[in-house]
């Protein structure tokens, strides 16, 4: 068991939703779903209809959005400066040289005083940093918003899939520069070595819960572009064994190799030693498991979390034998930038729209 400082957050939080309101962005339609029990089906059906009518009335009677509150300004501070991070990278490289690990992901945490809501930061992310996974979650004592590009795992009809992403470059300011950066990324031996390690780790994670001979690398070394960065991505899949389900997939793959390292357990030990603080939700998973046993979970990166007093954004970089510490420092900056800018933009928009009220 790893020795890491405790925090005030739950390690796991699952919620069951028997009533769901879905807004389809493509068709611009609202879909209302009410699950019902199978005992006394006629009575349950009438009860579900009544619930749907109540939800329709609630939607129709809602005219105004709740106005989010924001501080007048925000200033992010990091838990370590460039020199401290580079020293941490050098220590990790010694572990690599000594044969403890092949690769490890080290992160930096940015925090700021923040007493508002992240809802407008989420809206800003949707516009300026659209990603495969967009989420805003509000619980009793936390708000989480994010734009994650990376799937932890999917399970669909017993087919389990994971999508390792490793290798990062910033987006170019022009099409020509963007293509130049793509060529630099796909021909960077350090980035390719890191990516291949994590593809092998994904195959191992999937293989532990899959039928023998069913594990495949379906896509390999593809470039995926996002608003601020581009990544190298691959796809690994397998057929779940009959005795395993979606929860086994989570347990086998989490934490993702792309957020920990290889070998995974030793990398986690080194992360706990060098980073010195709990990561909280960073590098965890956000998603759903449906009533058919299917699963879709993303990795909690490009994510902000607020406890009502402070907001936190965390970003990391993969360290291998020939990593250059200053480059890894810059990679953390690039990855955290989109989320921190979204929070700042939300504050600016709030100030502008309320100046004349």
The question of whether 282 is a catalytic residue gets the answer: yes
Among residues 124, 161, 162, 258, the one annotated as catalytic is 258
- What is the CA angle 165-108-297, rounded to 5? 40
Structural contact between residues 155 and 246, judged by C-beta atoms closer than 8 angstroms: yes
> Which of 125, 282, 101 has the alpha carbon at shortest distance from 135?
125
Ramachandran sector of residue 58 (left: φ over 0; alpha: ψ -120 to 50; beta: rest):
alpha
The question of whether 162 is a catalytic residue gets the answer: no
> Which of 80, 55, 239, 223 has the alpha carbon at shortest distance from 156?
239
Structural contact between residues 71 and 116, judged by C-beta atoms closer than 8 angstroms: yes
CA dist 172 and 225 (Å) reads 11
Among residues 151, 302, 303, 329, the one annotated as catalytic is 302
CA dist 173 and 130 (Å) reads 18
CA dist 109 and 277 (Å) reads 10
The residue behind tokens 């000594």 is 98
The question of whether 95 is a catalytic residue gets the answer: no
The question of whether 108 is a catalytic residue gets the answer: no
Among residues 123, 231, 279, 350, the one annotated as catalytic is 231
Among residues 122, 133, 226, 282, the one annotated as catalytic is 282
- What is the CA angle 297-278-338, rounded to 5? 60
The question of whether 302 is a catalytic residue gets the answer: yes
Helix axes 189-207, 246-253, angle to 10 degrees: 140
Catalytic positions are 231, 258, 282, 302, 318
């Amino acid at each position: 068991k790893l020795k890491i400082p405790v925090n005030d957050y739950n390690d796991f939080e699952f919620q069951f939703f028997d009533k769901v309101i879905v807004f389809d962005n493509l068709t611009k339609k609202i879909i209302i779903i009410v699950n019902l029990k199978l005992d006394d089906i006629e009575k349950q059906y009438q009860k579900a209809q009544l619930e749907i009518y109540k939800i329709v009335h609630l939607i129709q009677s809602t005219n105004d959005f709740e106005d989010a509150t924001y501080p007048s300004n925000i200033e992010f501070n990091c838990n370590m400066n460039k020199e401290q991070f580079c020293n941490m990278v050098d220590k990790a490289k010694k572990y690599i040289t000594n044969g403890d690990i092949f690769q490890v992901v080290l992160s930096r945490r940015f925090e700021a005083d923040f007493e508002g809501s992240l809802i407008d930061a989420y809206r800003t992310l949707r516009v300026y940093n659209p990603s495969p996974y967009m989420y805003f979650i509000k619980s009793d004592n936390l708000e989480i918003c994010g734009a994650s590009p990376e799937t932890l795992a999917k399970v669909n009809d017993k087919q389990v899939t994971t999508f390792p992403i490793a290798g990062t470059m910033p987006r170019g300011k022009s099409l020509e520069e963007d293509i130049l950066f793509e060529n630099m990324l796909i021909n960077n031996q350090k980035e390719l070595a890191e990516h291949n390690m994590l593809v092998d780790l994904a195959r191992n994670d999937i293989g532990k819960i899959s039928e023998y001979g069913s594990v495949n690398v379906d896509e390999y070394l593809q470039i995926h572009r996002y608003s601020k960065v581009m990544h190298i991505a691959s796809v690994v899949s397998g057929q779940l064994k009959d005795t395993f389900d979606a929860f086994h997939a989570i347990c086998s793959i989490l934490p993702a190799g792309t957020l920990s390292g290889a070998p995974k357990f030793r990398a986690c030990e080194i992360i706990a030693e060098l980073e010195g603080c709990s990561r909280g939700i960073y590098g965890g998973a956000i998603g759903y498991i449906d009533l058919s046993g299917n699963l879709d979970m993303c990795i909690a990166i490009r994510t902000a979390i607020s406890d009502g007093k402070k907001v936190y954004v965390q970003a990391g970089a993969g360290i291998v034998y020939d990593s250059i510490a200053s480059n890894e420092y810059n990679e953390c900056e690039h990855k955290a930038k989109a989320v921190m800018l979204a929070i700042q933009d939300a504050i600016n928009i709030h100030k502008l729209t309320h100046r004349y009220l």
